Amino acid sequence: MEEKTPVLLEKLYRLYRQRVNPVGKTYMFVDEIQHIRGWEQWIETYRESGEVKFIVTGSSSKLSSKELGTLLTGRHIDLTLLPFSFPDFVRSKGIEVSSLSIELKSDLIKNLLFSYLDSGGFPEILFNSPKENGTKILEAYFDDIIYRDIVERWNIRDALLTKRIALYALKNSGNLLSYRKIQKALEQTSGKTSTSTISENMSHLSEAYILFEVELHTNSVKKALINPRKVYSVDTGLRKAVVKPLTDDYGRDGENIVFLELLRRGYKVTFWKTDKTEVDFVASGRTGDLVINVTMSNLDDPALRERELRGLLEFEGDRSRRILLNSDIEDTLKIHDKTIELIPLWKWLLIEDFLPRR
């Protein structure tokens, strides 16, 4: 078998030029680029000539986005591909995503939202697998990420501890978590560990895109670093498959998919909290902040409604757009010279006017 070096890339490229497109600029797609030793020097040669534009993909088990940035400093744009979004999910069912279409089919759309919260957005689960096999496939994805992309890649000795950290973090999705809290919880069943070990493993889990850590919204770098963070899963279906919650918590799941959608739209996402109130997400963009709370509970409950609105009202910021995402109410409230938009989650996810790209 021919060794996978830039010589192989050069042969393929020359063959393409000779047989298909001898002149002019071309585009070259290379998947699993990490298997070609020294690929970055070869790509740089053609990049400087302007002859070729490259789109390369690679596995995080061999090449992290940070390392890719080091190899191609100032010469690349990173694109993170997440599992299918809810609009992707709806389109996969043959439904047009437009304001008129979703209004006419609102009951069906609401039903699909709960299906999406349960199954998540991995294409294999949505298109190819019988429903009963979905959990097994998602469990296999989880194990592959833990053992191949993290344990094998970083030569971690205690693979079981890494897996337990991941499970504990995913179980507490949307909750405030500190490394000290994770340490204390795991030491009850896994023996002695340290916050530095927890921190290192959480970093690996984030880099492998199994979870995301969200920092406190503050102007102080120190406060952001030392305060507990929130954790969200890359996919609600994956989380349910491995955590196996005893009851459905669609409020938690809804919060998770809102976070992922904000990432897809290019926002920098933090959360805001005081001793008395909090905001689930502060999504920072060029024209101001989106300040968002998410609930799937009944807003007819006065105590719940007051709690969800309080954080949005107390958050400071003149350019902030304040939004309460909920199961089905659409309204606009004027309270103490502040405007709060109540938007159904299913509609917010589907209509881009509600969530412009950053």
**Could you tell me if 60 and 163 lie in one domain?**
no
Q: Does 138 fall in a domain?
A: yes
62 shares its domain with 199: no
Residue 257 lies in a domain: yes
Among candidate residues 265, 268, 209, the one with its CA nearest the CA of residue 233: 209
User: Is 268 domain-assigned?
Assistant: yes
Do 171 and 299 belong to one domain? Answer: yes
Domain endpoint, select from 22, 37, 71: 71
SS3 20: coil
118 and 258, same domain (yes or no): yes
Q: What phi-psi label fits residue 109: left (phi over 0), alpha (psi between -120 and 50 degrees) or beta?
A: alpha
Cross-strand partners of 270? 282
Same domain? 62 vs 141: no
- pLDDT at residue 101 in the model: 77
Pick the last residue of a domain from 15, 38, 71: 71
Q: Are residues 24 and 135 in the same domain?
A: no
- Residues of the chain short of pLDDT 50, as ranges, are 1
Q: Using alpha carbons only, how large is the chain's radius of gyration in Å?
A: 23
pTM reported for the whole predicted model: 0.88
Identify whether 77 is part of a domain: no
Would residue 45 count as lying in a domain?
A: yes
* 175 and 55 assigned to the same domain: no
Per residue in 114-165, pLDDT (tens digit) is: 999 999 999 999 887 666 689 999 999 999 999 999 999 899 999 999 999 9
- Given 44, 71, 98, which residue is the final one in a domain? 71
107 and 55 housed in the same domain = no
Q: Do 34 and 116 share a domain, yes or no?
A: no
Domain presence at residue 26: yes
User: In terms of C-beta density within 10 A (0-12 exposed, 13-18 middle, 19 or more buried), how is residue 292 classed?
Assistant: buried
Report strand pairing: 176-177 vs 211-214: unpaired
Please give the single-letter amino acid code of residue 310: R
Total of domains in the chain: 2
Q: What is the pLDDT of residue 1?
A: 46
Q: Is residue 164 part of a domain?
A: yes
In a domain, 1, yes or no: no
Q: How far is CA 116 from CA 35, 235, 358, in A?
A: 35, 10, 25
184 and 212 co-located in one domain: yes
Considering the domain architecture, whether residues 90 and 233 belong to the same structural domain is answered as yes
* CA-closest candidate to residue 151, choices 113, 88, 201: 201
Do 255 and 204 share a structural domain? yes
CA dihedral 233, 234, 236, 240 (to 10 degrees): -60
Q: Which structural domain range is residue 200 located in?
A: 86-354
